[in-house]
A and B are shown apart, each in its own frame.
Chain A
Amino acid sequence: MNWLVAAYSVFFIGIFAYTLMMSRKQKDLDRRIEELRSLIKESDLHDS
C-alpha cells in the first residue's frame, strides 16, 4: 500500500510542481511586460 501511495504521490507532486512553476513564470513575465510597456510609454512622452 505504501509503495502505491508513494508512486501516485510522485505523479501528482510532479505535475502540480511543474504547473505551479509555469504559472509563476507566466505571472513574472506578465509583470515584466507591463513594466517595459510603461517604460516605452514614458520615453515616448519624453520624446514628444
Chain B
Amino acid sequence: MANRTIGVASLLGMLTALWAVFVYAPTEATMGIVQRIFYFHVSAALMGFFAFFVVFVSSIAFLLKRDLAWDRIARCSAEIGVLFASINLATGILWAKPIWGIWWTWDARLTLQLLLWILFVSYIMLGAYIAEPMKRAALQAVFGILAFIDVPINFMAIRWWRTQHPSPVILGGEGSGLDIDMYIALIITMAAFMLLYTYLLGHRLAVERTQEEVEYFEQLVHSQ
C-alpha cells in the first residue's frame, strides 16, 4: 500500500517534471530544443550513481553483519541503477548525434559511464551463476564495492579532464552553472527521479521477497 502511494507520487512527479522541462524551462540559445534532453539525461545519471551508492553501502553492511537483507537491497538497487545508467547512455547518444554530429566518442566521461554500466551488468550476471546464497552474496558485495570506485572518478571526470563532454553544471566551480529557470526544472526532474527510484526499489524488493517465499515453500514441499 505504501509503495502504491509512492508510485502515484512518482507518477505525479513525472508529470510535473515533464511540465518543467517542456513548459517552464526556457529554450537554450545555441542547442535549441534538443537541449531539453539534458534534464532527464542528467537526472538518470545521478540516480544511477545514487543507486550504485546504495549498492556500495548495503554491500559493506552485508559484509559486516552477514545479513542477507542487505544483500537483497544491494542486488535490487544494482538492477535499477543499470536501468538508469542505460537510459543515461541512450539519451546521451541521442543528444550527441544532432549536437556533435557523432553517436559516440571515447571521451573520459562516456568511457567511464560505459565501464560503470558493464561493471554492474557483470555484478548482476555474477549473482546468477552462484547458487549458494551466502557465498554469492559475499562475492557480489566485494564486487559491488570495487565497481563503485568508478562512480566518484566518473563524477569528477568532467572536472579533472576537459574533453568533449560538456563541462559540469552542478558543483562545477567558477564559470559553471545554469539559468535559474533551467536549474529549477532540473531540481524538479531530479526530485521526480528520486521518487521513481524509491518506487522501483520498493517494487523490486517485494518481488525478491516473494521469490524467497517461493523458494521456502518449494523446500518444504520437497522435504515432505
CA distance A47 to B44 in the complex (A): 55
Contact B95 A36, beta carbon cutoff 8 Å: no
Task: Check B34 for interface membership: any CB of A closer than 8 A.
Answer: yes
Contact A8 B214, beta carbon cutoff 8 Å: no
Task: Check B118 for interface membership: any CB of A closer than 8 A.
Answer: no
Task: Check B126 for interface membership: any CB of A closer than 8 A.
Answer: no
Task: Check B182 for interface membership: any CB of A closer than 8 A.
Answer: no
**Interface residue range, chain B:** 20 to 34
Mask, A9-40, CB within 8 Å of B = 1, is: 01100110011001101100110110011011
Task: Check B218 for interface membership: any CB of A closer than 8 A.
Answer: yes
Secondary structure dominating the interface of A: helix
A25 to chain B, nearest CB (A): 5
Q: Hey, which chain B residues are within 8 Å of A4, CB to CB?
A: 33-34, 36-37
B113 to chain A, nearest CB (A): 15
Task: Check B91 for interface membership: any CB of A closer than 8 A.
Answer: yes
CA distance A14 to B83 in the complex (A): 8
Task: Check B211 for interface membership: any CB of A closer than 8 A.
Answer: yes
Contact B210 A3, beta carbon cutoff 8 Å: no
Q: Hey, which chain A residues are within 8 Å of B40, CB to CB?
A: 7-8, 11
Q: Hey, which chain A residues are within 8 Å of B36, CB to CB?
A: 4
User: Given A3-B34, A7-B95, A11-B40, 20 more contacts at CB 8 Å?
Assistant: A1-B33, A3-B94, A3-B98, A6-B94, A7-B40, A7-B41, A7-B90, A11-B87, A14-B90, A15-B87, A22-B200, A23-B203, A25-B207, A26-B206, A26-B207, A29-B211, A32-B214, A36-B220, A36-B221, A37-B217
Q: List 13 A-B contacts (CB under 8 A).
A: A7-B37, A7-B40, A11-B40, A11-B44, A14-B87, A15-B87, A19-B203, A22-B204, A33-B214, A39-B221, A40-B217, A40-B220, A43-B221
- 10 shortest interchain CB distances as A-B pairs: A36-B217, A29-B210, A7-B94, A7-B37, A7-B91, A10-B90, A3-B98, A43-B224, A26-B207, A6-B94
